[in-house]
Structures are given as C-alpha cells and as structure tokens.
Amino acid sequence: MLGGPAANLKPDGYRLKTIDGKIVVTGSNDRGVLYGAFTLLRKVAVGEPLANLDERQEPRVPVRWVNHWDNLDGSIERGYGGRSIFWDNGASRADLARVNDYGRMLASLGINGASINNVNVNPRILAPDFLPEIMRIADTLRPWGVRTVLSVDFGSPQKVGGLNTFDPLDPKVIAWWKAKTDEIYRAVPDLGGFIIKADSEGRVGPSAYGRTHADAANVVARALKPHGGLIFYRGFVYDNKMDWRNLKNDRARAADDNFRPLDGEFDDNVVIQIKNGPIDFQVREPVSPLFGTLRKTTQAIELQITQEYMGQARHTVFLVPMWKEALDFDLRVGGRATPVKARVNGVVGVSNAGLDDNWFGNHMSQANLYGFGRLAWNPDLSARQIAEEWTRLTFGNDPKVVKTIADMQLKSWRTYEDYTGPLGLQTLTDIVGNHYGVAVEASERNGWGQWHRADEKGVGMDRTVATGTGFIGQYSPAVARMYESVVTCPDDLLLFMHHVPYSHVLHSGKTVIQYLYDSHYEGAEAAGGYVREWKSLQSRVDERRYQEVLMQLEYQAGQAEVWRDAVSNWFLRASGIPDAKGRVGHYPGRMEAESAGLDGYKTIDVTPWEAASGGKAVECPAARCVATFRYDGAPGIYRIRVRYFDQSNGAAHFRALVGGRVLAEWTADDRVPTRTIDSSSSALRAISGIMLRPGDEIRVEGTPDGGETAALDYIEVVRDEN
Ligand code: GCW
C-alpha cells in the first residue's frame, strides 16, 4: 500500500511501517515512495522479517548522481561493459529499453540524477536540432525519479552558438547561456543541471580570457538558477604538460592551488565536483585536500565506479572499502572532527554501464554500482553489509555463497593494490596508453605528473613542506603533521608522500624493497586463491554465471602473476637488492621461449622489458611456427602453463603437444585493450593432468592471424594441484 506525503522527512525520504498486518510505505515525495517500495523488495529478497516494520530512511545528501562518459557515436570513454545504452551513431539509441532498465536499477539504489554524455563533450549536445534526442532519454529516466543532467563544453557559445567568443564576462555570452538554458528547460523541465570540465586535459576554459573558474561557473549558474538547476564544475583541473625535471612541480597540488583562492566567489547553485584523491582514481591516494579547504563553497565527491585504473572489469576489485576510507577520512578542519562525508552535499559516481547483459563486463563489478548507490544514500553502512546485501540480491541467500563472495569482494581492493601499486606508489600501469597493463616507468619523464620517481637509490615523491613540493601543507595542520613525518605517515601512503631509500624500514618492520616483493607475491597468491574459493561454489551458483566468473577469476590470477613478475623484476633491477626469499628472478619449472628450439619463431625484445619474462618473447613471421622445449625433471603428473600473447588485432591459433600427442588447442581471441605484445596481451593457458618423463618433448605450435603473431613468452611445468 502506498501512502501520501509524510511530514518531517527530508526530500526523497520514506517510512516503512507495518500497521494491522499491512505494510505502509510513505514518502516525502514521489521518489521517496518509490525508494520505500524498492527497500521493501530488498527486504523480501534478503529474507528480513516484515511483521513489525517501523523504519524511517532519509538520504544523507540531496544529490546522488551518476556520470556517464558516453560519446554520441555510442562509444564510451573508459567503459568496459559494451556500447552506450544512451547513444548510437550520433543520436539517441532507437531502442531505449536498457535505459529504462537502468533507470529502475538506479531508483532501487536511491540515485536521483544521471549525466548522459562525456565530460569530454561533443558540443553538438547543445545544438538546437539535438534537443529531441535528449528529450527521449529524459522521458525514459523520469518515471524512475532520475533527472537527466548534461555535460556541456565551456566553448559552446562559440562552437554551437556561432558567437566569436566564449568569454564568460561578455554580455553576448551571458545572454547565450541564458537563452540556451531556457530552451533546454522548455523541453526538459526537470533537468538536473550541467557538468563542466574546463581548462583540463585539452578542454577549453576561462583561462583563454584570463577569467577565473568562478567567472566561468557563475555565468552558467545564473542561467540555471531560475530553473532550480545546478552546475557541477569539476575540480579536476591540472597542467598535463608539467616539467618532470622540476622536483617542486606536483600535479597533486593542482586542485587546491586552483580553487583555494576562489572560495566564496561561487554562486550558491555551483557545486565543485572533486575526485576523491588529488591525482586520478589511483589504487591508493590520500583524500583531496580541497575537501578541507573550501569553506564557503558547495562541494561534491566524485568516485569512479567504472574500473579504469582498477583492472577494467577484468579484475574483481570491490571499491566500497576504498570509498569508505575517503568518506570517513578526518580532515581536522579547525582542529575538530571533520570527516569528508560531512563536507559534501553530493556524491557522484562515474558509472559507464554499457549494453552488456551484466552492464559492466564482469558480474562481480556490478557490486560497485550497487555499493556506490548504497553509500551515496548512507555513507555509514558497513562495507560488509553492502557486500552481503549485493551478493544475496545477485546470487541468492545460500550462506556459503554469501560468505565466500562477500569475503572475496571485501579483500579484493587490498589484493589488487598488493600486485599493482602498494605503499602509495599509485597504479604502476601504462598511464600514457590503456591504463590497464603494467608499465612501471610509463608515469615517469612526461608531463602527466603521475611520477613516483624510482631510481637506483630510492623511490617515492617528496611532497613534504620541508624538502618537497609542499603538497602536504595543503591539509589542516593536524593532518599535515601526520603526513609530514615518516614516523607518523601510514605505510600505505609512504611513497605518495616521501622519497625514501629502498632500505627504509616500514612500521611493519620490513624494508620498502622487501615489502614491494612480498606484497606482489601475496597479491598474486590471493588472486589465485579466488579461483579456488569460487570453485567451491560450483552447483550453488547457476552454471552460466559460475563459468563466466570462473573464467574471469582465472584470467585475473594469470594477470596478477604478470604484474608480480614485472614489478618485482623492475625493482630488483633498479635497486640491485635481491629478494630475501629468493623468489624474484627465479622461476622453477619455467622455460623461456627464446631458449627453446625454434622452427620459424624469431626472438624479439618486448617493450617495456618487464612485460615479458626475461624481457623477450618469440613471434612467428611465417604461416606457422613451432617452439620445442625439452623436459628434464622427474617423471610424474604435471600442469603445463603456456604464457602467450593475445592481442586485439587477430585471433592466432595455438596447439600444445607432448610426444606428438595434442594436449590442447585454442584460439587467442580475448577482448584486451592492446594491439601489441606487452603486459596487457600476456595470456595464460594451463593444461592439467599431463604425464611427463625426462626427455619428453613439449611442442607449442602457433598459427598467426591478422596482426597477431602467435607470440610466446614461456612455458612452465608445475606440480598439478588438481
Ligand atoms: O582519469 C582520467 C581519464 C579520462 C577522463 C579524465 C576525467 C573523461 O583517463 O578518460 O576523461 O580522467 O576525469 O576527466
């Protein structure tokens, strides 16, 4: 039964109450009633008792939005779940059924707005003839209480308006924004507002006219004001052509340096949208100091649901524990308890769901949208509660399933950090390329400012006030004191804040270099453990999803080894300090392809060298090539692991044989973000239960296809655990 408006509830709040055996849902507005109904459904699904319900729920913040980085051609920037649900070929998608489903999913989480186009804006979004396309999408989202929001280009007055300027103080420009905004609101009266990325990564902004971000935000804010619209102006402003040789330069400073002087100059419907960390959605960052700096400006936190630097939905990484750390972080403003969650009026998530059945390209990644919505509503929920709820709603209430999946999700961020960038190194990925595979030096010696400054003596960015970039001084005195000293700086952020020798001893008692080795082995081991844990759920999870998740986890475990070997070898070479446990550089059972008998295959150097074992691989320049390995170990039953390369520009074919008998054949047709032989294309095929005797010949045959050269890295003969 649905009741009418309830008094004393914040907008979107609701109440659930059992009265005379009936459940009454009352809401402060339509949305509240809808949210109450969804909460009731959730309670039914997870098996909560309904007999004596009496619950009031109110959202912590009024703005709970998702952002999409969808391009009008249907592609998605940093999207891993297929093509856009909104756009296709320059117009709204003919069939918007998935937008309707998406709106329902958002409503079930209490999310009340969605921006539907990339912050790297195609200015056509504001062209007069494009308005019907926006209306179709807004009409589809509206029944779910989801307001449509548009990303707009700050140069629009010139690019679509035909003016000769976009100077925010020019009366023609002011009039243009007003007229354009009025026109949009006539078509979409409940539009949430606009998002602007200006003066950032090649987008135009107020700097073109020597104006400030406040001038820029306010001109748009004033056009939105009569309609109740908000402008979300992104704090993600930095110089991507910074001189890396200057040790005082620091991208982490940028947001605070840019916006601190403007506090108090923004109109009241301007919201500064600040990424959780000062760099860019890395696996570990401190919170942005800007959350503490702005006192007279409304702010929102921007979290990234899409797993750009977090394994791109090929790795299971549950982000709720990370987001909670950011939301709970105490900024100590004015010496008083000031958690980030108390400073923000909005929580925004970069969602990038796509047309794939599972929305994100990986079943487990859906938990991140779920968790985002739940935290946006109530940041005090525990990560475990969210993980368990999601698992129950997604895979059912079998206690073993719930525990196994929730446990895996809850440790997955730490695991990923362990093998991709511990101690505050940030994600050691290819930051100038696909942001996916490992490339330790990709962040150095360029203008992007994601430096970690590793050399033969030490590692880490000195961001101290005393000797470094001064970034730490942007925090309140209490927080700055904690980070400024290596004695009190937490190990997890040590290399984000300090440059130390490899022999520096952490609070844990380990040296930095040994921690780097150990964490990579532990992370890879944990990723391998997920496969075993998942296998214990066979027949408890439906077969299709069981197999799909199994494949994903096996792949992740294989990639974790690539990361482990690449990062640990890179630091071994840089530091010259061996692994105290003797693992790095020693791989029992491994036989390099470049040392095998090669028929047709040619040895090549791989770039970066750490992406392949021994820095080399073999590739096939002919129609078919063969690599022959001789087994010399003890007789027994073994697993043969073939590490090969699977790029996106072909589907090479492989066969593995022992003594002329075919053990396995496969086609390398995985979806990976690279066309070259590197860590992103590194792939693993494991063949179990193989009887081997000394002197046996193991042959791997490769047949290239398209641009893919059937390249091989190594094979490993290991004891079979099955
Ligand atoms: O993390 C970076 C991404 C860009 C993105 C940018 C931003 C939309 O690599 O793809 O652009 O951040 O947040 O604006």
| Residue pLDDT, tens place only, 327-376 | 999 999 999 999 999 999 999 999 999 999 999 999 999 999 999 999 99
Looking at the predicted structure, is the pLDDT value of residue 634 above 70? yes
From the number of C-beta atoms within 10 Å of its C-beta (0-12, 13-18, 19+), residue 694 rates as exposed
Identify the pLDDT of residue 3.
Answer: 53
CB-CB contact of 319 with 387 (8 Å): no
How far does the centroid of ligand 1 lie from the alpha carbon of residue 197, in Å? Answer: 10
Whether 610 is a known active-site residue: answer no
**pLDDT band (50, 70, 90) for residue 720:** confident
Going by their DSSP bridges, the two strands 652-658 and 697-703 should be labelled as antiparallel
Q: What is the pLDDT of residues 486-515, one digit of tens each?
A: 999 999 999 999 999 999 999 999 999 999
Residue 13 pLDDT level (bands cut at 50, 70, 90) = very high
Arithmetic mean of pLDDT, 409-422:
98
- Which among 55, 182, 201, 665 is annotated as catalytic? 201
d(CA 451, CA 570): 16
The reported pTM is 0.97
Residue 721 is predicted with a pLDDT of 72
Instruction: State the CB neighbour count (10 A cutoff) for residue 446.
Output: 16
Q: Identify which of 48, 149, 139, 64 has the alpha carbon closest to the alpha carbon of residue 100.
A: 139
Residue 272 and residue 540: Cα distance in Å, rounded?
46
Burial category of 527 from C-beta neighbours within 10 Å (exposed 0-12, middle 13-18, buried 19 and up): buried
Residue 6 has pLDDT above 80, yes or no: no
Evaluate if residue 5 carries a pLDDT over 70: no
Report residue 486 CA to chain centroid gap.
Answer: 29
Of residues 610, 678, 626, 611, the one with CA closest to residue 649:
678
CB 661 within 8 A of CB 644: no
Q: Which of 379, 323, 332 is nearest to 350 (CA)?
A: 323
Instruction: Return phi, psi of residue 211, to 5°.
Output: -95, 170
pLDDT in tens, 280-331: 999 999 999 999 999 999 999 999 999 999 999 999 999 999 999 999 999 9
| % of the chain with per-residue pLDDT over 70 | 99
Burial 187-196 (b: 16+ CB within 10 A, else e): ebebbbbbbb
For residue 119, how far is its CA from the centre of ligand 1 (angstroms)? 8
Cα 581 to averaged position of ligand 1 atoms, centre (Å): 39
d(CA 172, CA 178): 10
Residues 6 or more apart whose CB falls under 8 angstroms from that of 161 comprise 176, 180
For residue range 217-259, list pLDDT tens digits in order: 999 999 999 999 999 999 999 999 999 999 999 999 999 999 9
Atom of ligand 1 nearest to the CA of 350: 13
Pocket of ligand 1 (CB under 6 A): 69, 77-78, 119-120, 197, 236, 280-281, 308
Q: Choose the residue to mutate in 275, 280, 305, 429 for probing ligand 1, maximizing ligand atoms within 8 Å of C-beta.
A: 280
| Phi, psi (deg, nearest 5) at residue 545 | -70, -30
Average pLDDT over residues 467-472: 98
- Given pLDDT bands bounded at 50, 70 and 90, which one contains residue 65? very high
Residue 23 has pLDDT above 70, yes or no: yes
The confidence score (pLDDT) of residue 311 equals: 97
**How far is the CA of 245 from the CAs of 250, 254, 270, 446, in angstroms?**
11, 17, 36, 9
- In this structure, is the dihedral angle defined by the CA atoms of residues 354, 357, 363 and 369, taken in order, positive or negative? positive
pLDDT at 276: 98
- Our CA dihedral for 570, 576, 581, 586, rounded to 10 degrees, sits at 60
Confidence grade of residue 461 (pLDDT, cut at 50, 70, 90) = very high
b/e per residue, 591-626, with b = 16+ CB within 10 A?
bbbbebebebbeebebebbbbbbbbbbbbbeeeebb
Instruction: Report whether pLDDT(7) > 70.
Output: no
Cα 280 to averaged position of ligand 1 atoms, centre (Å):
8
Q: Which of 122, 308, 310, 312 to mutate to test the pocket of ligand 1 (most atoms within 8 A of CB)?
A: 308
Q: Which of 67, 69, 429 to mutate to test the pocket of ligand 1 (most atoms within 8 A of CB)?
A: 69
Active site residue 548: no
Mean pLDDT of the chain: 97
For residue 636, the CA-to-ligand 1 centroid distance in Å is 51
Token pair, residue 520, equals 């990579």
pLDDT of residue 402: 98
In this prediction, residue 4 has a pLDDT band, given cuts at 50, 70 and 90, of: low
Give the DSSP letter string of 107-145. HHHT--EEE-S-SS--GGGG-GGGHHHHHHHHHHHGGGT
With the most atoms of ligand 1 within 8 angstroms of its CB, the residue from 67, 78, 279, 429 to mutate is 78
Cα of 204 vs centre of ligand 1, distance in Å, is 15
**Arithmetic mean of pLDDT, 92-112:** 98
Check pLDDT > 80 for residue 600. yes
Tokens 């390099």 -> residue: 592
CA distance 174 to 375: 38
Minimal-distance CA residue to ligand 1 atom 11 = 120
User: Catalytic: which of 12, 280, 579, 646?
Assistant: 280
- Confidence check: pLDDT of 2 > 60: no
Q: pLDDT value at position 722?
A: 56
**Residue with CA closest to ligand 1 atom 12:** 280
Q: What percent of the chain has pLDDT over 90?
A: 98
**Number of other residues whose CB lies within 10 A of the CB of residue 681:** 24
In this prediction, residue 8 carries a pLDDT of: 86
What average pLDDT does this structure show over 377-404?
98
Q: How many CB atoms lie within 10 A of CB 172?
A: 13
109/4: higher pLDDT: 109
Q: For residue 70, what pLDDT is reported?
A: 98
pLDDT tens string 702-715? 999 999 999 999 99
Range 465-489 average pLDDT: 98
Q: Which of 256, 308, 388, 389 is catalytic?
A: 308
Question: What does the H/E/C string look like for 645-695?
Answer: ECCCCCCEEEEEEECCEEEEEEEECCCCCCCCCCCCCEEEEEEEEEEECCC
Closest Cα to atom 1 of ligand 1: 280
* Atom 2, ligand 1: residue with shortest CA distance: 280
The pLDDT of residue 464 is 98
Which of 46-50, 64-68, 545-549 has the lowest average pLDDT? 46-50
